[in-house]
Amino acid sequence: MTRKEWLFAAILTFATILAWVVFDIIHTRAQVEVPQKLQEVIEPINPNLNTESLE
- 10-residue stretch averages of pLDDT, the chain, 55 residues long: 94 98 90 80 82 76
State residue 41's pLDDT score. Answer: 84
* Dihedral, 44, 48, 53, 55 alpha carbons, nearest 10: 160
In the chain, what are the domain boundaries? 3-41
State residue 53's pLDDT score. Answer: 77
Q: How far apart are CA 47 and CA 28, in angstroms?
A: 34
User: Is the pTM higher than 0.75?
Assistant: no
Secondary element (H or E) of residue 19: helix 3-29
Sequence-distant (6+) residues with CB within 8 A of 2 are none
Secondary element (H or E) of residue 3: helix 3-29
